[in-house]
C-alpha cells in the first residue's frame, strides 16, 4: 500500500500550483493579446495612411505616369517614415519609396494583393529580403470610375512590436514572481491553519466509514469547520437511522417476495437481474445464489421472455404476454421501474402460471367451434323441411301453421346464434387472425355498404342515418369484417333507437388515430352495465333483447373485430338520451 500524504501536503502544493499556472497563463495570454493588439493597430495605421494619400496617386493613372508615381512614392515615404509601393492590376510594380522598381518581381501573387483584388483590405506579414526584417504589408485597391486601376501598398517593420513585448514580458515576470512568492506564503499559513482540524475530522470520518455511527466529532474553534463537524455528526445520526430503515425494509421485502405465489424478477436498464424471488427461480430452475448482477440472458434461457423484457425496456410502457416454457405457460406482466425523479431505471416482471387456465380456454374455444359446426347441419335441414311444409300444407290448418311459424322463428334464432358463434370463434383464434387480409380500403365505401344493408329497418322505424366521412380516407382493414362490425353497431342503434330518431355516423382524424363514432338517440344503457356490455351473451334487458331478435353476441363480435385490427372500442351512454359507440383505429 502506498504511503499517503498528509492533508497539508495535499492542500498547499495544489494552491501554489494553481497560482503559478494562473500567473503563467495570464502572462502568456497577455502577451498574445498585446501582440495581436499591436498588429491590429499597425494594420489600421497603415490602412489610414494609404487612404489619406490614395487620391494623390489616382491623378497619375489617366494616363499612367510611372515617373510621377515613383517620385510621389519616395516623397510620401520619407514624410511618413513608411514604405509606399504602387502596383498595377497586372502585378507590375510602378513605384516604390525604397527599392528601384526594375529590381522588383511581379507582385500579383502576393497575399495582400490577392485579398485587395476582391476590393477588400489586404494584409500580410512576411520577411522582406530587401530590408532583411519582418514587415507588415497592407494593400488598398485604387478605384477609378468603379474599376481597380492599381493597388497602394504600405508597409512597416514590426521589430518594434517584438521589442515592446520583450520589455512587457520582463515586467510581467518580475511582478508575477513577487505575487507568486507572497501568495505562496499566504497559502502556506492558510493550509496549516486548515489542515489540523481537518485531520481530526478525517479520523472521525474514517470511524464513520468503519460503521461507528455513534461516534461524535469534536467541534473546532473556526465557525465554518465547527458547522462542518456538527453537520457530519448530524449526517452520521441520520445515516444510522436510514440504514436501520433500509435493512428493515429490505428484510420485509425479502419476506414478501418469498411468500408470493407469483414469480417476480426485477432487472435494470442493462437487463441485469436486480432481484428474483423463490417462485421465479422454481419456474426457470435458477440458482438464486448465482443470479445476482448477471444478465437475464445468462440466467434464463427463454427467448420469448428475453425479447419481452427487451421490448418493455425499450418502449417504457406496461405490457402483458403469455410466455411458453418447457413445463408450463406463464402469463408475464412487465412494467417499468422509475426512481423518485420519474427516470426509468429498469423493469419489473410478474409471472403467473396459467397453464391450466389456458388449457381450459383452448378446450372451451374448441368446444364452441365443434358444437357450432355439429349443430349447423341438422338445423339447416330442419329449416328446409319447415319451409317445405309451409308451402305445401294448405288445408286451412291454421294451428299447425302457427306452430310451424314458431319452429321457424326459433330455428332462425338458433341459426343466427351459431353463425355469430362461428364468427366469434374465428376472430378469437390466433391462427384465424393470421388469415385476415388487410388491404388499403376507402372507409366511406365500407360505411355506405353497412348503412345500405341496415337502411330497410331504419326506414320502417322512420329513423334517419347521417354519415360524415371524408372520401379521401383510406385505411388498411379487412373490409368484410369491418363492414360486419359497422352493421352490428348500426343495427343495434336502430333496434334501441326511439321512433323517428337520428343515427349519426361520424369519422374524424385525431392524434394519429381514426375515430369512428356511431351515435343514437335511443333508450341508453345504465352505467353499471357499461363495463360488461361487450361480454358474449351479456344483456342489459334480456326480455327486450330477445323480443328484438338479438343473439347477445353482436357487440362481442364487434370488439374482437376491432382488436384484430389493432384498435379499441369504447362506449358512452346516458339513460333515455342515447349511446355513442366509438372505434379507434391506427391511421397510417
Element of type H or E holding 330: strand 329-338
Query: Is residue 5, in this structure, part of any structural domain at all?
Result: no
Residues 444 and 376 in one domain: no
Query: Is residue 500, in this structure, part of any structural domain at all?
Result: yes
HSE-CB for 491 with a 13 A CA cutoff: 20
Query: Is residue 206, in this structure, part of any structural domain at all?
Result: no
Rounded CA gap, 57 and 143, in Å? 11
Q: 286 versus 456: which is more confidently predicted?
A: 456
Per-residue burial over 445-471, b = 16 or more CB atoms within 10 Å of its CB, e = otherwise: ebbbebbeebeeebeeeebebeeebee
What's the pLDDT score for residue 504? 92
Query: Which residues, 6 or more positions from 46, have their beta carbon under 8 angstroms from its beta carbon?
Result: 82, 123, 136, 138, 154, 155, 156
Extended beta strands in 165-289, E state: 263-268, 273-276
Q: Which residue shows C-alpha cell 384498435? A: 567
Rounded CA gap, 436 and 419, in Å? 18
Rounded CA gap, 203 and 103, in Å? 83
Residues 64 and 144 in one domain: yes
Rounded CA gap, 156 and 137, in Å? 7
Instruction: Decide: 386 and 404 in contact? Cβ < 8 Å.
Output: yes
What's the pLDDT score for residue 318? 84
Query: Is residue 53, in this structure, part of any structural domain at all?
Result: yes
Q: For 265-318, give the DSSP string.
A: EEEETTSBEEEE-HHHHHHHT--GGGTTT-BHHHH---HHHHHHHHHHHHH-S-
Rounded CA gap, 255 and 59, in Å? 104
Rounded to an integer, the average pLDDT of 391-396 is 58
Query: Is residue 168, in this structure, part of any structural domain at all?
Result: no
Domain span including residue 54: 10-163
Q: What is the mean pLDDT of the chain?
A: 78
Nearest residue to 323 (alpha-carbon basis) of 298, 337, 306: 306
Number of domains in the chain: 5
Residues 401 and 529 in one domain: no
What's the pLDDT score for residue 588? 65
What's the pLDDT score for residue 444? 92
Query: Is residue 4, in this structure, part of any structural domain at all?
Result: no
CATH number at residue 384: 1.10.287.130
Per residue in 542-583, pLDDT tens? Answer: 545 555 555 567 788 888 888 888 899 999 998 888 899 999
Residues 220 and 242 in one domain: yes
Task: Please say which residue of 163, 188, 222 terminates a domain.
Answer: 163
Bridge partners for 125 per DSSP? 136
Per residue in 107-138, pLDDT tens? Answer: 888 888 888 887 778 888 877 766 677 788 88
Q: CA separation (Å) from 296 to 222, 248, 271?
A: 54, 28, 6
CATH number at residue 17: 3.30.450.20
Nearest residue to 31 (alpha-carbon basis) of 169, 125, 179: 169
Task: Please say which residue of 336, 353, 370 terminates a domain.
Answer: 353
Nearest residue to 556 (alpha-carbon basis) of 524, 532, 585: 532
Instruction: Decide: 88 and 95 in contact? Cβ < 8 Å.
Output: no
For 97, the grid coordinates are 519609396
Query: Is residue 197, in this structure, part of any structural domain at all?
Result: no
What's the pLDDT score for residue 538? 65
Residues 344 and 362 in one domain: no
Q: CA separation (Å) from 98 to 32, 108, 130, 581?
A: 32, 19, 9, 99
Query: Is residue 473, in this structure, part of any structural domain at all?
Result: yes
Element of type H or E holding 40: helix 7-58
Residues 42 and 141 in one domain: yes
- Give the percent of the chain with pLDDT over 90: 6
Rounded to an integer, the average pLDDT of 79-98 is 85
Amino acid at each position: 500500500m502506498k504511503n499517503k500524504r498528509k492533508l497539508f501536503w495535499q492542500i498547499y502544493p495544489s494552491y501554489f500550483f494553481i497560482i503559478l499556472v494562473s500567473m503563467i497563463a495570464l502572462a502568456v495570454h497577455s502577451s498574445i493579446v498585446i501582440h495581436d493588439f499591436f498588429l491590429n493597430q499597425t494594420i489600421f495605421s497603415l490602412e489610414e495612411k494609404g487612404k489619406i494619400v490614395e487620391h494623390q496617386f489616382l491623378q497619375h493613372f489617366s494616363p499612367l505616369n510611372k515617373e510621377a508615381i515613383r517620385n510621389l512614392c519616395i516623397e510620401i515615404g520619407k514624410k511618413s517614415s513608411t514604405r509606399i509601393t504602387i502596383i498595377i492590376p497586372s502585378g507590375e510594380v510602378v513605384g516604390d519609396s525604397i527599392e528601384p522598381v526594375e529590381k522588383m518581381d511581379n507582385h500579383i501573387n502576393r497575399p495582400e494583393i490577392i485579398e485587395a483584388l476582391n476590393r477588400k483590405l489586404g494584409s500580410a506579414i512576411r520577411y522582406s529580403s530587401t530590408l532583411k526584417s519582418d514587415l507588415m504589408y497592407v494593400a488598398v485597391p485604387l478605384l477609378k470610375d468603379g474599376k481597380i486601376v492599381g493597388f497602394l501598398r504600405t508597409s512597416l517593420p514590426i521589430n518594434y512590436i517584438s521589442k515592446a513585448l520583450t520589455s512587457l514580458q520582463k515586467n510581467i515576470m518580475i511582478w508575477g514572481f513577487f505575487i507568486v512568492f507572497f501568495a505562496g506564503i499566504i497559502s502556506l499559513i492558510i493550509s496549516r491553519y486548515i489542515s489540523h482540524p481537518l485531520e481530526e475530522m478525517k479520523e472521525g470520518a474514517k470511524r464513520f466509514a468503519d460503521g461507528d455511527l455513534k461516534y461524535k466529532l469534536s467541534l473546532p474553534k473556526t465557525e465554518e469547520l465547527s458547522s462542518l463537524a456538527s453537520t457530519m455528526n448530524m449526517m452520521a445520526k441520520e445515516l444510522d437511522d436510514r440504514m436501520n430503515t433500509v435493512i428493515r425494509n429490505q428484510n420485509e421485502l425479502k419476506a414478501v417476495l418469498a411468500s408470493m405465489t407469483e414469480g417476480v424478477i426485477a432487472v435494470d436498464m442493462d437487463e441485469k437481474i436486480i432481484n428474483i424471488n423463490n417462485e421465479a427461480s422454481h419456474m426457470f430452475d435458477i440458482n438464486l445464489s448465482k443470479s445476482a448482477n448477471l444478465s437475464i440472458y445468462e440466467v434464463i434461457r427463454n427467448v420469448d421472455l428475453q425479447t419481452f423484457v427487451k421490448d418493455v425496456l425499450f418502449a417504457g410502457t406496461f405490457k402483458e404476454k403469455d410466455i411458453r416454457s418447457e413445463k408450463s405457460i406463464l402469463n408475464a406482466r412487465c412494467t417499468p421501474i422509475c426512481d423518485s425523479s420519474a427516470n426509468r431505471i429498469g423493469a419489473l416482471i410478474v409471472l403467473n402460471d396459467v397453464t391450466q387456465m389456458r388449457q381450459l380456454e383452448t378446450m372451451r374455444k374448441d368446444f364452441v367451434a365443434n358444437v357450432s359446426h355439429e349443430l349447423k347441419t341438422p338445423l339447416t335441414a330442419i329449416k328446409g323441411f319447415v319451409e317445405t311444409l309451409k308451402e305445401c300444407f294448405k288445408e286451412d290448418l291454421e294451428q299447425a301453421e302457427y306452430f310451424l311459424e314458431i319452429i321457424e322463428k326459433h330455428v332462425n334464432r338458433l341459426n343466427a346464434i351459431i353463425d355469430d358463434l362461428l364468427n366469434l370463434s374465428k376472430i378469437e383464434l390466433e391462427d384465424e387472425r393470421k388469415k385476415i387480409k388487410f388491404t388499403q380500403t376507402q372507409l366511406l365505401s365500407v360505411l355506405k355498404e353497412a348503412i345500405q344493408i341496415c337502411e330497410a329497418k331504419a326506414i320502417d322505424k322512420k329513423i334517419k342515418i347521417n354519415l360524415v366521412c371524408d372520401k379521401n380516407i383510406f385505411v388498411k382493414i379487412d373490409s368484410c369484417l369491418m363492414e360486419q362490425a359497422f352493421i352490428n353497431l348500426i343495427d343495434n342503434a336502430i333496434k334501441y333507437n326511439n321512433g323517428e330518431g337520428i343515427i349519426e355516423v361520424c369519422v374524424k382524424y385525431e392524434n394519429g388515430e381514426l375515430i369512428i363514432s356511431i351515435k343514437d338517440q335511443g333508450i341508453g344503457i345504465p352505467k353499471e352495465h357499461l363495463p360488461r356490455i361487450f361480454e358474449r351473451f351479456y344483456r342489459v334487458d334480456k326480455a327486450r333483447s330477445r323480443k328484438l331478435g338479438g343473439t347477445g353476441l353482436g357487440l362481442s363480435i364487434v370488439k374482437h373485430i376491432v382488436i384484430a385490427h389493432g384498435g379499441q372500442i369504447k362506449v358512452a351512454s346516458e339513460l333515455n338520451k342515447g349511446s355513442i359507440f366509438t372505434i379507434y383505429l391506427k391511421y397510417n
